[in-house]
Structure 1
Amino acid sequence: MSYRWIDQNPPLADLAARLPADQPLYLDTEFMRERTFWPQLALVQVNTAPEAAPAGMADQGGEHIWLIDTPALDDPGALRELLAQRTLVMHACSEDIEALKVFTGETPARIRDTQIAAALTGFDLQCSYQRLVRELTGTELAKDATRTDWLRRPLSESQLSYARDDVVWLPQMTQILTERLTALGRLGWWEEECDRLLRNAVADVDPALSWRQVKGAGNLEGVALARLVTLAQWRDAMARERDLPRGFVVRDPALLALAQAGPTTREQLAGLDLHPSLVRRDGDTLLALLREGEQQTPPAALPGPPDPAQRQLIKRLRARVAEIGKDMGLEPEILMRRRWLEAMVREPGSVPEPLTGWRHEPIARPLLEMLS
């Protein structure tokens, strides 16, 4: 057997009790979210190796590999205890963090993301786990189970093998990346980036700001925007209550159409080409929300696209970021996001929060000098 399957709380609780409190866990999850608002945690894969295996010697025997069947657990307490106060080492883990929080009710204490570590050593920001394993260990992993139904039981052998492989190589890759970051003097950068990722992943979005997530919201202002604020806040609440994706409650185009037209009758609602079930079930509520929105003071409209002069300045700044990235052996995307750059151009002298840490000296300072 190349892994241990856990579908009951007692062995999971035993595992948590036996592991040293300061031992990191190399972890991945499988979850489903296509038709729900909340992620449905289907599997947690854990590698409990106490230290990275020697180069080329991953835990092929499966002594430290645990596949935890979360739907079979009668309560989340044992998993919560296992993860509590430990450092979780994962790859591209923002959605995994959310899935774990929804299932256990707790936020991980600390995370270390190998995708971020790889980016800080020169890989592109979206480097996949499969590619990183190939580049660092020379091992080619199968991808055939990436998009399958992880909630269906029993899981197939290919699914189980895929799930196991997702944590087998994490200790070795972490060791290699840690050594590279240490040699480059960037280990603190990794810690800073991971701490920021954890904060952002578990931050609760203010329902009053959910209108900002509506595609096309930047085209509205005044009373239409006030209507959208009220509609979007209701949609967000209904998505959570009904456990449906926001688009399953009301799609963005329909939300914009409602906000722009401001219908006052069911007949006018029907004339907006809304889904009949939406009008039938929520028509009266939508009309009431529109009236409520019209009584509210609209927020400031979202910033429009940069003007021609700003676009030219952004182009020059991006060229400078590319030069700095080349000198540092880093892809420009890890140094500067477009939205940060636009914020600096729109508000001269401002420094977005991510640029106040390790990025300040190599990136923020030279760009501020160009803007002064």
Structure 2
Amino acid sequence: MQYQMITTSAALKDCVNSLSHDAPLCLDTEFMRVRTFYPQLALVQLTTDKDIFLVDPVAIADLSPLWQRLSGPQTKVLHACGEDLDVLPKPLLPLFDTQVAATFCNMGMSLGYAALVEKQFGVTLDKGQSRTDWLKRPLTDAQLAYCVNDVVYLPELYARLSAELERLGRRAWLQEECDRQVMARAQGAEPQLAYLDIKNAWQLKPQSLAVLRELAAWRLEEARRRDLALNFVVREENLWAIAKQLPQRAHEIKALVAPMEWRHHSQALLRLVEQGMSEPEQSWPAPITRLIDIPGYKDHFSQIKEQVAKAAEKSGLPDAFIGSKKLINEWYSYHHRLDDALREQVSKPVLETGWRQELLGELK
């Protein structure tokens, strides 16, 4: 299996220049994410036709020639690229995700790359290296073979899936779904809404939610700034405990967090609690009502689920792809749980947009 290992800036420029502009740019990434907020990029695999390049970001400090190429108008082809989008230029458009394309082609939902390759080519890939340490050098022959396999079939998969999408009249649906996925990933979480993701936030009263809102927004911004996983800044349950107890003295806050959290963030935590508690009552967040506690939720959910099932039967697409539980709850939350102020800060529910709305019609 032929490939070129790219480990110098000069070789990277030659690699980028040699990639065809007349074919889709097929790629994959390897990365590590343990204690960091952002994934640590370890390898980029590239091909447009026969030549395969393995770009080593551990050896090359400046990847700007590659990022510039990926930011251009050439179609980028990846498989199940959700996490890859976190380490690649934003927004990575136009995008062709072969996993999403396979779903639109009625080949199955969430089909793994190896399963899709076996289904299309009868080739069984070795996935034994999927959980390896990609930042360790030198990479082994087994690791390199694994990386090459992850892109070698993408050009032909693109061709086959494209043809089937055209036959089904669903190419525009794929583009819409990929665009939505890319833009959602590029935008990231809104700090002022981060408190809504804190477990058991629904148990808190409005003033406590005001404190939690300050704490959660600060934690998200701190994690991004320092490239730390959220819970390595301050653990989620400790933020909740502070908001629940509404401590007014330093020693009361200190008793609710880990020693290292207090050592690094004592001043910030003191300021944030004070800031949250000083918010006027009219600016406190509205109480969070769990969906299951809203009268009529279960019946309404069942009705929408039935509407989704009918659309799935008609289109041949999986129920969960058209309207998963998460998407139905997103729609219901938007219309029945969020207040007007919050509704203005979030996007329109996915079920009310694009091809899904086309299949489902109006939801009530």
If the length of structure 1 is used for normalisation, what is the TM-score?
0.87
Runs of at least 5 residues in structure 1 that lack an aligned partner in the other structure: 50-62
1:13–1:208 Cα change, 3 Å: same
Distance 1:344 1:277 in 2: 40
Runs of at least 5 residues in structure 2 that lack an aligned partner in the other structure: 337-342
Deviation at 1:302, TM superposition (A): 3.8
Deviation at 1:194, TM superposition (A): 0.9
CA contact (8 A) 2:291 2:297 kept: no
CA contact (8 A) 1:13 1:81 kept: no
1:313 aligns with 2:300: yes
- Counterpart pick for 1:129 among 105, 113, 118: 113
Distance 2:26 2:254 in 1: 53
What pairs with 1:41-52 in structure 2 (closer than 5 Å)?
A: 41-49=41-49
Deviation at 1:354, TM superposition (A): 4.8
Distance 1:227 1:124 in 2: 45
1:78 aligns with 2:78: no
CA contact (8 A) 1:221 1:298 kept: no
Distance 2:331 2:21 in 1: 43
What pairs with 1:219-258 in structure 2 (closer than 5 Å)?
A: 219-258=203-242
Where does residue 154 of structure 1 map in the other structure?
138
Secondary structure in 1 aligned to 2:133? coil
CA contact (8 A) 1:123 1:331 kept: no
What pairs with 1:73-152 in structure 2 (closer than 5 Å)?
A: 73-85=60-72, 86-101=74-89, 106-152=90-136
CA contact (8 A) 1:123 1:330 kept: no
Secondary structure in 2 aligned to 1:190? helix
CA contact (8 A) 1:121 1:329 kept: no
Distance 1:315 1:219 in 2: 26
Distance 2:204 2:225 in 1: 27
1:167 aligns with 2:151: yes
CA contact (8 A) 1:28 1:96 kept: yes
Where does residue 328 of structure 2 map in the other structure?
341
Distance 2:262 2:33 in 1: 26
1:298–1:308 Cα change, 3 Å: closer
Secondary structure in 1 aligned to 2:58? helix
- Counterpart pick for 1:359 among 342, 356, 360: 356
Which stretch shows the higher mean deviation, 303-312 or 236-245? 303-312
Deviation at 1:72, TM superposition (A): 1.0
Deviation at 1:20, TM superposition (A): 3.9
Distance 1:155 1:267 in 2: 50
Distance 2:142 2:155 in 1: 22
Where does residue 332 of structure 1 map in the other structure?
319
Deviation at 1:100, TM superposition (A): 1.4
Q: Counterpart amino acid of 1:264?
A: Q
Distance 2:241 2:332 in 1: 32
1:201 aligns with 2:185: yes
CA contact (8 A) 1:84 1:109 kept: yes
Which stretch shows the higher mean deviation, 332-341 or 288-297? 332-341
Q: Counterpart amino acid of 1:360?
A: Q
Distance 1:340 1:329 in 2: 19
Q: Percent of aligned pairs with the same residue?
A: 36
1:288 aligns with 2:268: no
Which stretch shows the higher mean deviation, 299-308 or 139-148? 299-308
Q: Counterpart amino acid of 1:216?
A: N
Distance 2:21 2:130 in 1: 32
1:75–1:165 Cα change, 3 Å: same
Q: Counterpart amino acid of 2:27?
A: L
Secondary structure in 1 aligned to 2:312? helix
CA contact (8 A) 1:13 1:82 kept: no
Distance 2:268 2:19 in 1: 53
Secondary structure in 2 aligned to 1:45? strand
CA contact (8 A) 1:25 1:47 kept: yes
Distance 1:345 1:17 in 2: 49
Distance 1:327 1:311 in 2: 24
Distance 1:6 1:345 in 2: 49
Count of residue pairs the alignment pairs up = 348
1:302–1:134 Cα change, 3 Å: farther
Deviation at 1:308, TM superposition (A): 5.0
- Aligned residues: CA RMSD: 2.2
Deviation at 1:343, TM superposition (A): 5.0
Where does residue 39 of structure 2 map in the other structure?
39
Q: Counterpart amino acid of 1:12?
A: L
